[in-house]
Amino acid sequence: MIRAHAQVIRLVIAEILSFIYCNTGVGPNGTSPIAIGDYGIGLEELASMTRDHKFSALQQYGGRGISGDETDILKRRNAFGSNTYPQKKGRSFLRFLWEAWQDLTLIILIVAAAASLALGIKTEGIKEGWYDGGSIAFAVFLVIAVTGGRMIKVSIHDLVVGDIVPLNIGDQVPADGILVSGHSLAIDESSMTGESKNVHKDQKAPFMMSGCKVADGVGTMLVTGVGINTEWGLLMASISEDTGEETPLQVRLNGVATFIGIVGLTLALSVLVTLVVRYFTGHTEDAYGKVQFIKGRTSISHVVDDIIKIVTIAYFKFSLWFIAQLILYIRLAYSMRKMMADKALVRRLSACETMGSATTICSDKTGTLTLNQMTAVEAYAGRKKLDPPNDSSKLHEVVTSLLHEGVAQNTQGNVFVPKGGEDVEISGSPTEKAILLWAVKLGMKFDVSRSESTVLHVVPFNSHKKRGGVAIKRNNSEVFIHWKGAAELVLDSCTRYVDSNGQFQPIDKEKDFFKQAIDDMAARSLRCVAIACRQHDLDSVPADKESLDKWVLPEDDLVLLAIVGIKDPFRPGVKDAVKVCVEAGIKVRMVTGDNIQTAKAIALECGILGPSDDFSEPNVIEGCVFRALSEKDQQQCAKKITVMGRSSPSDKLLLVQALRKGGDVVAVTGDGTNDAPALHEADIGLAMGIQGTEVAKENADIIILDDDFASVVKVVRWGRSVYANIQKFIQFQLTVNCAAMVINAVASPSGDVPLNAVQLLWVNLIMDTLGALALATEPPTDHLMHRTPVDRREHLITNIMWRNIIIQVFYQVCVLLVLNFLGKSTLKSNDESTQHATMVKNSVIFNAFVLCQIFNEFNARKPDEINVFSGVTKNHLFMGIVGMTLILQIIFIEFLGKFTTSVKLDWKQWLLCVGIGFLR
């Protein structure tokens, strides 16, 4: 894939250099450019110019747009590629079939089916001779067919190199490019660099990277790189690679399958040797009591036919384990459908069972633990606490006027007042909306306040400095600068405050009071925002636009107007959900960008931290501290981290990597573009369906449709249910097959094997399909969340399961072998021949064996409980499947005896079979 894209790269960069070539006829450094089609710029030169920010090359080449006609666009797409990113290559249905049938067991079965079919038709005629071979062929076809599947492709974008793209606040930069024109354009490059600082773009710093977001301003850009030739394209290429890593359950299932295969093949070989020895020693008889082999008299062709039949029967009796793998896909598909009702959309089937093994969940705060609906709940102004926080009666008109002006102008949000008297509509970020609503309740008229002054210059909120400012000019020509941001930082820049009389007072003696107020609010998980201002000399304001755009607003000598505490309420049930995780042995870690004090308070409130927990490092740590550790120390530290504050996207990724290296099965919740690497790196990535970006969802395994942490816990519950039900079926399946193997293996030396190939096929088909469906549809219970997570190295078959399997197999083998050796005389009627008595005896054994498995399904429901019938009547699907299995068995015995080589049974024989099954 990489080589293919490298070849495309050599074709795709002919864009910008072609502009210079058209104008000057020369390429960089005075050399003639390499022409590609109708363009005079090389792909690598164009891509590296934008990627490496080669400003000198840009100045040398200049640039111009495209004409826009279809012919030109098609040429550009052919020369420079399309704006698409690499996707995981899907496999066709035929490819899945090809891979499925290459299983060694299936190959042997295919050979056995062909040999059995040919032999049966030759010896018994086409009317009856196809039974055995046809049954094997049907089973093989069934397994190969249900193993197949296919991927779904996504749409592409039509941008080409040379396009001019307009950019506005909130837009995502769709490709690499160069700024053509713009006003106060600031780009959030955190998704690419991990740095939360916005980067301002102008003619001296014009390079734009795809995948970043426009944080402020407007502009237009010239596209210079698309698709794989962008920085974002290279990131998408790395996260789209399928590592092929198996899930914990798949590893365990493969181990069980290997063990089963070895045991089954060993027993098959032993039976084969026994049957061959009996045949050549003259102890094998046909259905009429005639010896099949007599030395010197039996023809070679008959010997070959008989040996082929013995080999086919011997192997077939012990090679039906492969159908058991289907239960995994049945259960996962069933869980995926049911999880939709619990607000979880599963994008990758295996994530269902992997989530059940999760040992830790790294959760963000906003929108997952909280509602992402900020509200002002506390406020201080004029050294007084406003109670309630929107009580304007305690505010002097000077404070009120300055607050209204500052809030209305120093915001990226908006307030719309409907004419009909309905509630105001407020837009903007959650924090902006909370401050605007608070000011509206204080009496602010948004449109009026904005009309009374003119904005001179805006400094958008900067996550590095944690503040944003605006310079405004009032209608009376007074200039004021308003700041708003993190309370503790803005307070440090204040030298005065406005008292309750509207007078400006020195803040030195009152700073401790305000600091204590901030600490108290932060301790109660409130986000503290301070609002301050200062007057500025009109003569000091830059006169021309270029100087005004570069103006650095003064941040000192501020006047504190108010401190507002805003809170994002927790989602209902979050504390209970965290408690369930803790009881289930799952470590919940909160990774947030909030300051460490707020992060601790939030974690304490929702139960992630307990009152008696250690609040020091490394239990509570800042992202920068963790980032500075060595790789070895990070791995040791990661195990102890409960809360990580002030974390960057790269910190989250490092934490996930360290936890996985330490053996944890890690689930990660995220909603931003910059969370994509962590979501992809985790064992299970959970993206938020409401707040989540498309890139985050694309790299997630499960999408939480309601953004609620309680839904994450439901996913864990379903995942554990998948694992538990797989174990139930494995116990059930092993019991069926072990009993069948031992019965036939012990009986084979006598030459009277009670369960023939078609009967075994029937048992495996109904038990591995209907039985699997019955056990796969057992709903999750609260009991599952009282267990600890299953370790990656823990065996799939537990000691309790082995106990149940051994007891069940011992019972079935003993009872059915007694019937096999002593049942002929017991069940024989006076008017029956020896041959008919043998068929009656074998039919009773076959019927009793199936009924044992039907009753054993109830045991498998509750492998570690005494009352196996508890709640069974509530699972209507289980009861329906058990009933259907019983009906099918009656039909087989009473009406399809010719197909299974069985005879009808009377009511006494049926009663015996039911009694054997019930007493299992």
From the list 132, 188, 216, 364, the catalytic residue is 364
Paired residues of 157 in beta bridges? 83
Record the tokens describing residue 165, joined without a space: 């793209």
* Radius of gyration over every alpha carbon of the chain, rounded to an integer in angstroms: 37
Please name the amino acid found at residue 227.
G
Q: Are 575 and 628 in contact (CB under 8 A)?
A: no
Q: What is the DSSP string of 278-298?
A: HHHTT--B-TTS-BS--TTTS
Using CA atoms, how far apart are residues 666 and 362, in angstroms rounded to an integer?
A: 7
Using CA atoms, how far apart are residues 356 and 335, in angstroms rounded to an integer?
A: 12
Rounded (10°) angle between helices 834-861 and 907-918: 40
Distances (CA, A) of 453 to 408, 450, 658, 677: 10, 6, 53, 45
Record the tokens describing residue 49, joined without a space: 């110019």
Q: Are 481 and 470 in contact (CB under 8 A)?
A: yes
Using CA atoms, how far apart are residues 281 and 132, in angstroms rounded to an integer?
A: 26
Contacts of 630 (CB under 8 A, 6+ apart): none
Paired residues of 181 in beta bridges? 220
Record the tokens describing residue 81, joined without a space: 């590629």
Using CA atoms, how far apart are residues 882 and 778, in angstroms rounded to an integer?
A: 13
Please name the amino acid found at residue 627.
R
Distances (CA, A) of 709 to 576, 592, 745, 887: 10, 15, 54, 45
Q: What is the DSSP string of 532-565?
A: EEEEE-GGGS--SHHHHHT-----SSEEEEEEEE
Record the tokens describing residue 490, joined without a space: 């803005």
Residue 215 phi/psi, 5° resolution?
-90, -30
H or E element, residue 361? strand 360-363
Q: Are 39 and 17 in contact (CB under 8 A)?
A: yes
Rounded (10°) angle between helices 104-124 and 300-316: 140
Using CA atoms, how far apart are residues 603 and 609, in angstroms rounded to an integer?
A: 5
Q: How far is CA 380 from the centre of its chain?
A: 44
Using CA atoms, how far apart are residues 855 and 812, in angstroms rounded to an integer?
A: 12
Using CA atoms, how far apart are residues 742 and 732, in angstroms rounded to an integer?
A: 16
The answer to whether residue 364 is catalytic is yes
Contacts of 911 (CB under 8 A, 6+ apart): none
Contacts of 375 (CB under 8 A, 6+ apart): 434, 437, 566, 567, 568, 569
- As annotated, the active-site residues are 364
